[in-house]
A = this chain, B = another copy of it.
Amino acid sequence: MPSEFDLIRRHFTRSPQHTDLAVGDDAALLRPRAGVQLAVSTDMLVSGTHFFADTDPEDLGWKTLAVNVSDLAAMGAEPRWAFLALALPAADDPWIAAFARGLFACADAFGVDLAGGDTTRGPLNLSVTIVGEVPAGQAITRTGARAGNELWISGQPGLAALGLAALHGEVALDAAGRARCVDALQRPQPRVELGLQLRGIATAMLDVSDGLLGDLAHILEASAVGAIVDAAALPLDALRATGANAAIARRCLLSGGDDYELLFAAPASARPALTELSTSLGLPLHRIGQITGQAGVCLLREPDGTLAPAGASGYDHFA
């Protein structure tokens, strides 16, 4: 069995693009640009909790980094450096090679240097810390939503949850639909460029990892506002097109996790800019509701006009 040091060297050492000193010393050395704040996020993925033990390791490598990149996208920050701590039950060379391939594909796609890490023996656990930059004072937090703002979501929320349901055998999708949903689950696309472009436009933002309504509640709490989500405005058609019925599609869209789309509030005056941005990025942006002054109250407006408490909570790993 190759040693820990060999494993790290062979699969995880690549020439960094913008790191003064990367893997191999007690710490990495990096130099932030002048005038920035650093945005730093940590996510830990555990086998059996966050992914199946038999998940394709290349997909897993992509997703392990992508979910962290998404956290920076949600702040309007530019991802720059990642650090990987990895516990493996065995030194499985092909598995590690495939995992590294997926991880570096994501790193390359978003300009991230893998600047350091740690590898050890233990139950499979993937912990990434990502460091990005944002011009000082321009980060988009969760606290700025105001009554009268409109509520937007990017892309196609619900696909990942449908993909998970399909893998669990809980829902039957047509072949193309299943492939699209499983791909959304296993290869999420962090909305970095959108996040950067929303600086100065979005008043509050996060990425949807635990479900749209559950994550919306975090914005409402942090901003001390409420919201009305307009069911008629939810982008259900693409979910229905995979073969899912209406109830499942709606549940996956509102409560499913793992989409990593950006959910944000913006003043109504931003509509033209957002329409233009959607076009220039080739990324749908859906206006799905309004921010209200009723702190903590999240209502769902049905197509017939009735209002009811949205009620769903996010997926809780300890619930």
Binding site for B on A (CB under 8 A): 1-5, 7, 20-21, 24-32, 34, 37-44, 46-50, 71-72, 74-75, 77, 81, 83-87, 91, 115-123, 125, 127, 129-132, 134, 136, 139, 141-143, 205-207, 222, 316-319
Assembled-state Cα–Cα distance A11/B122 (Å) = 26
Assembled-state Cα–Cα distance A31/B135 (Å) = 10
A293 vs chain B, min Cβ distance (A): 22
Contact call A26/B71, Cβ cutoff below 8 A: yes
Contact call A118/B43, Cβ cutoff below 8 A: yes
> Using Cβ atoms and an 8 Å threshold, which residues of chain B touch A119?
317-318
Contact call A141/B87, Cβ cutoff below 8 A: no
> Given A75-B25, A120-B50, do A38 and B42 touch, yes or no (CB 8 Å)?
no
Contact call A28/B49, Cβ cutoff below 8 A: no
A-B contacts, 21 of them at CB < 8 A, read A4-B316, A20-B37, A24-B222, A27-B39, A27-B71, A27-B132, A29-B38, A29-B39, A31-B136, A32-B38, A40-B129, A49-B120, A49-B121, A49-B122, A50-B120, A119-B318, A120-B317, A121-B317, A122-B125, A123-B123, A123-B125
Assembled-state Cα–Cα distance A21/B137 (Å) = 11
A268 vs chain B, min Cβ distance (A): 24
Nearest 3 A/B pairs, CB to CB: A46-B122, A129-B129, A44-B85
Contact call A3/B40, Cβ cutoff below 8 A: no
Contact call A116/B40, Cβ cutoff below 8 A: yes
Contact call A42/B118, Cβ cutoff below 8 A: yes
Contact call B40/A28, Cβ cutoff below 8 A: yes
Contact call B129/A83, Cβ cutoff below 8 A: yes
Contact call A43/B85, Cβ cutoff below 8 A: yes
Assembled-state Cα–Cα distance A21/B41 (Å) = 12
> Using Cβ atoms and an 8 Å threshold, which residues of chain B touch A71?
26-27
> Using Cβ atoms and an 8 Å threshold, which residues of chain B touch A139?
21, 27, 29
> Using Cβ atoms and an 8 Å threshold, which residues of chain B touch A48?
122
Contact call A3/B42, Cβ cutoff below 8 A: no
